[in-house]
Amino acid sequence: MNPANSNTTLPGLSFSLDLGVIELEEGKALEPETLYDLLIIGAGPAGINAAIYAIRKGLTVGIITRNIGGQIKDTAIVENYLGIDNVTGTDLISRFHNHLKAYDIPILRERNVVSINRDEELFVLELDDGSLFRSRTVLIATGAKPRQLGVPGEKEFVHKGVTYCAICDGPLYQGQDVVVVGGGNTAVESAIDLARYVRKVTLVHRSVFRAEKVLMRRIEDIKNVEIKLGYVVEEIKGDNNVNSVVLRNLETDDKEELATVGVLIEIGNIPVSESFKDLLETNAWNEIVVDEDQATSVPGIFAAGDVTSVKRKQIIIAAAAGANAALAINEYLNKQSL
């Protein structure tokens, strides 16, 4: 039988399975006719580390992803990843990818999984091009995307003064003036941390602060932090890099231009969980709820990284969650085979 010209209808499912083989840059194919032990959705630090751990356990693994690296590609410099004191986001992605390629794990890029369906004890993943892949378990590691301001200049100056991770990129602005946008714990904590080594922090928020009272009391005592409450960023301006922001007072509608070299936007992230929220339990922020083994509300489906309800979102935490998930998945499959 020639797989490329065959269609198979899976029991219990109403759609057909296209058995064409998709060629990859790495030279290995993700094969629709293969029953995988684990299919991983996403190739950020959680997905990549899970794949490496799973393949070393002898599992048959494949990855389906829109891109390699996830949110790391939006990070200019990483200085807090264990064993690597200073690396660009691009270089760190390259190191992760090279490690992954050493295990010859098939990766299907430029595809989104639009649904996960049950076929008796198996899962069938349907992609945005209509193709289908089967697996005994699934790991969702689709990450999150930063919530953006949506103002002129924001996209133009990403990596040129605009950042969505103060912890990652804040040290780049030592001794200079920066603006932090946001009113939650992350924004206020970022402003407090930045105040230790920048010249001045201007914290901009449109309404009532949502940060804990203890943080608000602490930040009010820091002399080089100015709080602009009732203001929004109207525009981000610069030449090759950011050099100012335009703020608007929501009460008076007056505008002012503030000199700055960095705009650190901390208004939250949006988990990439849209395709799965009707299948799995999610919380009020649409994050996938997981237990200590990264297991979701559906047995056999696991999740790791920033798409989950884990409180702290960091590269190293996501990578660790991926390893934890892979080990838990291996134990799950061992029990299933008994």
Burial 261-278, CB ≥16 within 10 A → b, else e: bbbbbbbebbbbbebbee
Q: Of 129, 169, 221, 239, which residue is the catalytic one?
A: 169
| Residue 165: active-site member | yes
Q: Measured in Å, how far apart are the chain's first and last C-alpha atoms?
A: 33
Q: Of 91, 168, 253, 293, which residue is the catalytic one?
A: 168
Q: Of 37, 74, 165, 306, which residue is the catalytic one?
A: 165
> Long-range contacts made by residues 78-82, C-beta under 8 angstroms, separation at least 24?
78/168, 78/315, 79/168, 79/171, 80/167, 80/168, 80/314, 80/316, 81/315, 81/316, 82/316
| Residue 85: active-site member | no
| Residue 169: active-site member | yes
Active site residues: 165, 168-169
